[in-house]
Structure 1
């Protein structure tokens, strides 16, 4: 096909429109992956979450989104079978966009967090079945992706639980949890920065000239960033948070002495309460421990915001591919006239997808945030922090490998695993740790996603084949 062939211009125009709708749907549905736990724990308001998403979703789309977009564009189908019939591939990608858009908007209406990755891959396979009866679908690549969908929530959940148990035993179960939290805070800041900077710089953005950095330089940059942030946390953040939290505690009528351990306070409370009522003695000890853990939760407020920012960055990098991958294929065929383009994903198209994601977040994002952040399980700043870091580590690693895993599966897996584990550590039998009925509905929506998007895409591909 000749480059800039005028007869297919309508496909390009429609592709731009529909891909923006897909990006809108990704933002409306998948924004919960980044900010649901922060909003659910009360650390951020929905509006504040949207402001942060506006910056970091776009940044992630531009800086790390190109690699996953290439996987969506080149990894699912053997595009060489469309050589000489490039118009058919363009129509197929348009059908895939429509299939993805329809399902994402339907799921968002019902407040169900579905996988945008599932949607676009299922839609791509759907038009491929109509176009060539299954020929040209790279089934091994598809199997790899499907396996990652199963592994990702389990891996993300396992990492998140490990982080939570580490914090639980080292800080929450310490004699003085608040003091232990203050000591650990700079280290936690440093580790969080190291992991995320390493993920960003390793095989990083060509736009920022990070794609050819030596390994020693990558580790040096990550280590320096971690040490600098840890020092800043020790010198400024820790004293400021300590003063703020203790002043707030005193204002609320609960005087606190940092040199007295929880056990000491609990024992005195116990001596007084035992004279009156043995049951009150137990409650007195619980109240003191609860107050200390509440102060520890406050220490994690800003860590959770930091984690949400990195999660948003990772989400923009991974999920922009769902909206822009098919559009990039359409655009490169139109501009170069061939299906075998070796060109990388254009930065402006990645930014275009990022803008669509942000708009969807502002308009309809609150619907799914309510499901993941509030209705599925109880989330605190501590559990929210580990949920976001466990899921982000999984997603960022997958993004660097060019593997389009489901951020939805990662985040929901982490929420369920930690919600259950947190409840068991509290030994609270008064309520279910997880809303299992809601979780069942979410899993059903995951199962339905691939066939729903695939059938919709196949239907539109059949129409396009008939009229074009």
Structure 2
């Protein structure tokens, strides 16, 4: 009888422990989705407190603290939405794991922002609105605050629904909307807006054309050669050298300017020398790597893996240099106007402002990045290492040139445009090969044109959704910004 009693007690205890375990698992399941927002809120609060301490007790300290908090919020959203364009192709091609991609991107993004992220900020903060048309520094501060809040909210919404929109579009639209609300249509520098708008159209087309061109080169000179390995040994070092030359030139012009000013001609020579050096290093590496490989396309995918990772890293550096302006441009303008009461002179970028932008982008990438990395990497079109290398190289070159010129172009447009360029080139190439092969088949074995057309290599639903999101971003951000500006000024 005592044995039965003891057994029943153990059964009751096991049942209670099982219930406790289920409760703990349920709590962990519920708490996990709250972890990332909690960390984000902590970072935003820390940014605001740090700004309050660094800015001191001067007039406008509370405004600067609030602006720093919203700048951190915007930077987190950039990391969640925009950075997917850099690492998405590498992850989609299985050249990097999700964790590896996030770690590499976080380091490269921060380095790009801190080393070479100053030039574009002046275009974001001042080039869109003519400061002379704004009546007082307070009005200018509230306009920049409205732009910061509206763009952050819009990008947050887009990330939540899974749309890779342009954070650059969001900020530019926000600045424009607040400027119109503050001083009318005349406040907007329409010539600058026209140049920026033109770059929005040109950059994705250019990115797509360059990516398609590289893919055509790889197919013609490597993939369709009788001896694929020998062709790869000849051409892959050249492609990697082109990438290295472009990056070195960009770094010489922008990244080293705080130490020494380098003229364009010298920077081009540095890029050429770097390209030749990388070519000399890559030639023996490719030869060793390709020893014993079978003469097939699968071997080429292996050879392109490491260059793809390197090109994606370069792209993340360029993105950090270009897109940190989206987070800290309006914040830098607010800090300058609050500190000096002058909003018409050149804006200097405090180091702590750049740090908020750089670390915010990294936090956003770690906490919220995987969703859109998967979208860009695998859901638009199928990528392998060769196609993804073309996307990353094309996007890196285009972003570097745009940042070099001081234009706040959208890295989203460039990278996604490159993905579409690769996909549509594959469709065109597939259609061309289908026509040739179909002509050689007996009539009864020919594939119907409707059946062939049905096998699209680019998902049209994603294409239309993304283009629609691109179109609506600027007016939506502008409308939100104008509304927020009216609300802010009504209570001040």
Give TM-score, length-normalised by structure 2: 0.82
2:424 equivalent to 1:373: no
2:77 corresponding residue in structure 1: 25
2:352 corresponding residue in structure 1: 348
Inter-partner Cα distance in structure 2 for 1:215 and 1:147: 25
1:226 corresponding residue in structure 2: 275
1:296-326 CA-partner distances (Å, limit 9, x unpaired): 1111101111110111011111111111100
Give 1:6 shift: 4.2
Inter-partner Cα distance in structure 2 for 1:215 and 1:467: 49
The alignment covers a number of residue pairs equal to: 418
Q: Do the aligned partners of residues 139 and 219 (structure 1) sit closer, same or farther apart at CA in structure 2, a change above 3 Å counting?
A: closer
Give 1:334 shift: 1.8
Q: Do the aligned partners of residues 217 and 17 (structure 1) sit closer, same or farther apart at CA in structure 2, a change above 3 Å counting?
A: same
2:232 equivalent to 1:184: no
2:443 equivalent to 1:419: no
Inter-partner Cα distance in structure 2 for 1:17 and 1:215: 38
2:63 corresponding residue in structure 1: 11
- Among 173, 184, 193, which residue is 1:142 paired with? 193
Q: Do the aligned partners of residues 419 and 195 (structure 1) sit closer, same or farther apart at CA in structure 2, a change above 3 Å counting?
A: same
2:266 equivalent to 1:198: no
Give 1:434 shift: 0.4
1:252 corresponding residue in structure 2: none
Give TM-score, length-normalised by structure 1: 0.86
2:155 corresponding residue in structure 1: 104
- Among 441, 454, 457, which residue is 2:465 paired with? 441
Inter-partner Cα distance in structure 1 for 2:273 and 2:195: 36
Inter-partner Cα distance in structure 1 for 2:223 and 2:329: 44
- Among 150, 161, 166, which residue is 2:217 paired with? 166
Inter-partner Cα distance in structure 1 for 2:274 and 2:193: 38
Inter-partner Cα distance in structure 2 for 1:129 and 1:48: 44
Inter-partner Cα distance in structure 1 for 2:246 and 2:276: 12
* 8 Å Cα contact 2:333-2:347 kept in structure 1: no
* 8 Å Cα contact 1:20-1:323 kept in structure 2: yes
1:310 corresponding residue in structure 2: 314
Inter-partner Cα distance in structure 1 for 2:416 and 2:404: 21
Inter-partner Cα distance in structure 2 for 1:21 and 1:6: 24
1:128-183 CA-partner distances (Å, limit 9, x unpaired): 12111223210111111111111111111111111111111111111111221122
- Among 122, 129, 133, which residue is 1:70 paired with? 122
2:289 equivalent to 1:241: yes
Q: Do the aligned partners of residues 315 and 148 (structure 1) sit closer, same or farther apart at CA in structure 2, a change above 3 Å counting?
A: same
Inter-partner Cα distance in structure 2 for 1:338 and 1:441: 42
Name the stretch that deviates more: 420-429 or 316-325. Answer: 420-429
Inter-partner Cα distance in structure 2 for 1:113 and 1:355: 21
Give 1:216 shift: 4.2
1:117 corresponding residue in structure 2: 168
1:178-207 CA-partner distances (Å, limit 9, x unpaired): 221122222222221112111221354433
Q: Do the aligned partners of residues 343 and 456 (structure 1) sit closer, same or farther apart at CA in structure 2, a change above 3 Å counting?
A: closer
Higher relative contact order structure (alpha carbons within 8 Å, sequence separation ≥ 6): 1
Inter-partner Cα distance in structure 2 for 1:6 and 1:218: 42
* 8 Å Cα contact 2:59-2:338 kept in structure 1: no
Inter-partner Cα distance in structure 1 for 2:400 and 2:272: 18
Give 1:21 shift: 0.5
Local SS of the residue matching 1:396: helix
Give 1:234 shift: 1.8
Inter-partner Cα distance in structure 2 for 1:367 and 1:208: 38
1:456 corresponding residue in structure 2: 480
CA RMSD of aligned residues (A): 1.8
1:195-254 CA-partner distances (Å, limit 9, x unpaired): 211122135443342xx223443233222222222122123x2133214x73xxxxxxxx
- Among 321, 335, 338, which residue is 2:339 paired with? 335
Local SS of the residue matching 1:112: coil
* 8 Å Cα contact 1:120-1:453 kept in structure 2: yes
Inter-partner Cα distance in structure 2 for 1:46 and 1:240: 28
Inter-partner Cα distance in structure 1 for 2:187 and 2:100: 45
Give 1:10 shift: 1.8
Local SS of the residue matching 1:135: helix
Task: Show structure 1 runs of 5+ residues with no match.
Answer: 247-255, 259-291
Inter-partner Cα distance in structure 2 for 1:18 and 1:416: 33
1:48-104 CA-partner distances (Å, limit 9, x unpaired): 111111211011112222111111011000112336x10111111111111011111
* 8 Å Cα contact 1:33-1:315 kept in structure 2: no
* 8 Å Cα contact 1:22-1:323 kept in structure 2: yes
Inter-partner Cα distance in structure 2 for 1:102 and 1:206: 34
Give 1:345 shift: 2.4
Give 1:5 shift: 8.1
Inter-partner Cα distance in structure 2 for 1:9 and 1:216: 44
Give 1:4 shift: 7.7
Local SS of the residue matching 2:187: coil
Higher-Rg structure is 2
